[in-house]
Amino acid sequence: MAQLLLAAASATIQGEAVAQDAAGVASYWIVDSQPERVYGWLEGEPDSEFSAVVGVVWGPNESIAVADRTLATITVLAADGSVMVTMGRAGNGPGEFRRLAGIVAGGEGRVVAFDGEHQRLSEWTFDGSLSEDTRLSRTGAARRIGEVGRFTDGRWYAREGDRMVAADPGGVGRDTVGFHRLDQGGVVREALARVPGSLSSQFVVEGMSGMRGALFSPRALGALRGNCLLLAAGDEPVIRIFDQTGTPWGELRLDIPADRVTEAHRGQWVAASVAAAGRAMGGEIVPEAARMIEVMGEAVGMAERVPFANDLIVDELGYI
């Protein structure tokens, strides 16, 4: 956890945001050796087993809602971990999910789910009732949306999904990702801010060209803090702050080294990929398959810098 504290008044960053030495505050943080609560597959509750959790929000009476992309469900759990209700399922109809991307607290005891495949918002009550389905439409962005979020004042934003971009043979190209205003009617409006995104690499293997993400590719990072968006690129330790109207409020520069990617990193990636393929194939991988991974790893372009982070999380105290 970066030792940073956002200078904040109430729930919103006011005026210039600055980084402070939080060592004095951090000394009060104690992580217990045992968790306070455990959620998931309790004895007698097989329905609480999870596979790929993509979001958790608090509900009434210390309940939580857990979104699982693989199961295509939202499960509401009581404070003791017992299952209260499960909503949603795989499908194309109202309240059904094809690619559940996340959930957001909707206010007034409701939870809003976003489906990236359907480009649809669905609003649920914590008792499992579907109250509304809204498909996204666009006036300010032609790209598919990958994520949505809600500011403290109730306004919403939509984050563009990552995409492959054109690159010269043997080189890399870089995406930019927009964070847009989102009307409650599901209309994606003008961009609040844009940040550098992921890299694409064009390569040639045995005379055949292809395109994929570059090795050690960064990605666009975003987090909410009150009525502000904290945005960064994964390979540049600078966090840019915008309010819910897109007005910039300043920057936070993190004291994190931006290491250069070297050929040694490439070798580590290839070795890890071969090992992962072996585990997926029961512990053994045929030499031909290993060699294909090695050839691919040698041909694909790399990022210039090692990403300092893959995600941003800001807690209620303002720690990043």
Domain boundaries in the chain?
41-260, 262-301
- Residues in the chain with pLDDT < 50? 1-23
121 three-state secondary structure: strand
Per-residue model confidence (pLDDT) at position 204: 83
Per-residue model confidence (pLDDT) at position 11: 32
Per-residue model confidence (pLDDT) at position 269: 92
Query: Per residue in 15-26, pLDDT tens?
Result: 334 444 444 555
Per-residue model confidence (pLDDT) at position 13: 37
Per-residue model confidence (pLDDT) at position 307: 94
What is the spatial distance between Cα 290 and Cα 274, in angstroms, rounded to a whole number?
Answer: 6
* Extended beta strands in the chain, E state: 53-58, 64-68, 73-77, 83-87, 89-90, 96-97, 100-105, 110-115, 120-125, 130-135, 137-138, 145-150, 156-160, 172-182, 187-205, 208-213, 220-225, 228-233, 236-243, 248-253
Tell me which residue of 213, 197, 90 sits closest to 146, measured CA to CA.
197
Q: Which residues contact 18 (CB under 8 A, 6 or more apart)?
A: 6, 7, 250, 252
41-260 adopts what CATH topology? Neuraminidase (2.120.10)
Per-residue model confidence (pLDDT) at position 38: 81
Six token digits for residue 237: 């330790």
Per-residue model confidence (pLDDT) at position 1: 37
How are beta strands 236-243 and 228-233 bridged, if at all? Answer: antiparallel
Per-residue model confidence (pLDDT) at position 47: 66
Per-residue model confidence (pLDDT) at position 20: 45
